[in-house]
Structure formats: structure tokens, C-alpha cells
Amino acid sequence: MKVRECFDDRRPVFSFEFFIPKTLEGMVRFESTIRNLKRLSPSFVTLTYGAGGSARDRTIETAGMIQNELGLTTIAHLTCIAHTRSEIEAVVGRIRSLGIENIMALRGDPPKDGTLPPEDRRDYRYATDLVRHIRKMDGFCIGVAGYPEKHPEAASMEDDLRHLKEKVGAGADFITTQLFFDNADYFRFVEKVRAMGITLPILPGLMPVTNYGQLQKFAAMCGTRIPAEIIRDLGARQTDAEYVIQYGIDWTYRQSRDLLDKGAPGIHFYTLNKSRSTEVILSRLLGR
């Protein structure tokens, strides 16, 4: 199923994001997490992309397993900054051969080993270039990222919104946001996007906090603001693991309920490959 069809229903869209573990033990936990969350009948799941060699192959094969063996509609993330045009065509061809009809088109981060060619020698400078290429290949539903608090590398919010409009114009079907903790940021973002004439669904992305140190790391990396209330409440009790997890569950549940009540099309959960928090939150939302 193409994910854009999920948004045609009046029911909220609920989706989960996973990443490929690096160890065999982690892979066992990963599969257990997916099976636990499958019971909640998500609209779809997404799998982040490992750009290099074996990581890329494992990502694609695992996306195929999730869709074809576990029966969950899957979006394969695809980054382009370090790829050539022929490499992207090969990857998309493999994704297609596995029956996956949905791709999250992202620029991606530069390789840490410094092998990224200069901009004038890259086949893809921006995610817009990837969206345009996939759209020409036909047959795919394409998602793109949106940043309620601005992409960390963007010169301004206006500049970031201009890039989003270019991605939409290149052929995107829906927008999923980066994580945020203050719903006002999401609603301001939606208002600005709508004012630009963009009518695509904008799915809010939320991450239940499970570790205070990890929260700070992710927030810094994504350019996400941590509300003072969370810093106050978790800062003093950050070593109390159960308290932090329960706090994250309660905060994200309240966020989710408010977003849905005010018209958001659903919730995309950044699960960090853990099932408990997301399972509790979504069960509450579904009244189970």
C-alpha cells in the first residue's frame, strides 16, 4: 500500500520508526520490538538508512523482511548526499524488487570519513534532487522531512521553508516532522507551510524520552529545544531510570492527545527500537 492512502482515511495515522542494530543481540531485540508493536496495527513503519556498503544492504533487506514477512507497510529511508546517480538507481531498483512502494527521501549527513566530493561534483546536493529523481522513476509514494524548529544547517526558518516547498514541488506526497517537545512549534510550522500553499499531510514526529542524557544528545543533534519544564523535572532525577521512562510516557501521551484533538493527522513515533513506551502511549490513545 502507498502510504499517502493512509491519510485519506478519517482515522488518525500512527507509525513507528526503527533503525538497524549493529549487533546480533541488538537484532534479536529489534525483531522482538517490531513484533510487540505490530499488535497495535500501525498504519506503517519506517526504517532508517545505513548509507555505506554492508549497512546499506542490511537496511534494504531488513525493510523487505518487515514488509514481506511481518506484513507491515514499510517506508524505506533513502539518503543521497554520498551516492551517485547510478547507485541510487540500483538501490531504488532493489527496493522496488522487494515490493516496497514507499520511500522517505532525505539528503543525509556527510560521511564521517571525509570522503564526500565537493558540491559541484555531487549528483545530489539536496533532498529535492533525490525526490525529483525518484518521481521520474515512477511507482513510489515519497515522504520528506519537515523541521518545526528549522533544520540546524538552514540560515533561517524562511530559507528552510523555501527548501521544503522545493521538495514538495519536486514530487513529495507527505511530510513527516523532526521530533519536537512543544506542540506550539508544530502548529506554527503547519500555519507557515499552509500559508505557502502546501496542502500535503504533515505528520508530527514525537520521541518518548527514556534517558535524559540521550535526550540532550538527540536534541542537540536535531536542533530541538527541550522545554524548561522537562529540564527541571528530569534534571534532578535523571538517574532514576523508571521515573524518566514514566515521565516520557506521560509527556508524549499529553503531546499526542493535544495534537490529535487539534487536527494533526496522526503521530509518528521515534521508537529508538524500544517498544514499552510507544506501546503504552498508543494503547492509551486507542483506549485499550
Catalytically active residues are 17
Distance CA 130, CA 107 (A): 8
- Cell 531504488, residue? 92
On whether the CB atoms of residues 107 and 124 are closer than 8 A, the answer is yes
Distance CA 27, CA 199 (A): 38
- Cell 516532522, residue? 177
Q: Compute how many other C-beta atoms are within 10 angstroms of the C-beta atom of residue 241.
A: 12
CA dihedral (81, 83, 86, 91) in degrees, to 10, reads: -100
- Cell 490513545, residue? 285
Q: What is the residue type of 73?
A: T
On whether the CB atoms of residues 203 and 13 are closer than 8 A, the answer is yes
Distance CA 203, CA 205 (A): 6
- Cell 520490538, residue? 33
Q: Which of 204, 264, 212 is nearest to 237 (CA)?
A: 212
Q: What is the residue type of 45?
A: V
In the three-class reduction of DSSP (H, G, I as helix; E, B as strand; rest coil), residue 6 is classed as helix
DSSP 5: G
- For 229, half-sphere exposure in the C-beta direction (CA atoms, 13 angstrom radius) is 5
Q: Cell numbers of 16, please?
A: 513507528
